[in-house]
Structure 1
Amino acid sequence: MEVILASRSPRRLYLLQAAGLAVEVRPSHIDETPLAHETVADTVQRLCREKALACQTDGKTPVIAADTLVAIHGEALGQPTDLQHAKQMLTQLSGHTHQVLTAVCVRLGDQIQSDCIQTSVTFRNISSDEIDTYLAHNDILDKAGSYAIQGGAASFIQAIDGPLDNVIGLPVSTTLHMIAQMKDKL
């Protein structure tokens, strides 16, 4: 099956290709600034929907858009602005449980479906030296919360409650289910 991915995320592309989909990448460029008084879940849901709607399509190919944020104590941790900001985020996550929220939106013709999946991730206590080493050897500036669970940050994980692919950036089974439901309605 062919789909359009409204994202430049190599992780989302990989997950969709690994699920057997032929993927055309067409990133949507929108303002991703959170709105005042918006919850983390509200933000990711709004952003993924805006990305799906901004993507040009023939109406016959499913468009998949997603947005992921890391949240701790209800506060969103987006992508770090620099390595110092990344260290600050990882220090904040050290020894704590946080949530990874990924909203996915599928658009097919005039149909739009979206869902928001949450995974809880618990980090063990991470030393300052470990954080410095991780940041020196991993590209994290495009990662929510400053880490990639599928990379070097796997050693920080004490526990996960929820789908792993959600933390990577796309809940694949949820996405495939939405596409199937929409195709059934055509």
Structure 2
Amino acid sequence: MPLPNPRQLSRRDCLAALGCALPALARATDDPLPQPWAAHRPVPAPLKLPGHGGPALDLAALRGQPVLLNFWASWCEPCRSEMPSLELLAARHEADGLRVWLINFRETPAAIDRFLALLPVDLPIARDADGAAARAWAARVFPSTVLIGRDGRPVSTWTGEVDWTAPAARERFVALLKR
């Protein structure tokens, strides 16, 4: 069967094809490199979000501890795949004071509950109901993860699924965590 002429594809067809390809592309990079938070880039406004089934997220209250913010959605396959390794990362670095927060992107409490019934997660979840936090922290692809240093400033970001248990990812993370 011949390939369709790209000029004959509708915008909707192109977006659908891209949406199907993105999870595979995200998985194709086994160890996405952390990107440093540019020194000239401002820190977003104070981050306060309601919790889901637990405490609210107040980033300012966590100053003095390293924090990993993971922006995700239940419909995102790479997000689901990444969560078990995030839980292991949180457990491994709990003694270092690391706090890992999952920030759900624009889903209802019922949708989050359905997700948790299928994949129980033992990390705190905050709700970004209107997507403003994801926009402020430049989370345009899911999952997106931001490491916040003990001083409250962003250190690095990761875009796409990361296997936080992989040796190279663990080594890079530990180096960033010590900064």
Identify the TM-score tier after normalising by the shorter chain: under 0.3
Structure with more relative contact order (C-alpha pairs < 8 Å, separation 6 or more): 2
**Higher normalized strand content (fraction of residues):** 1
> How does the TM-score come out when normalised to structure 2?
0.24
TM-score by length of structure 1 reads 0.23
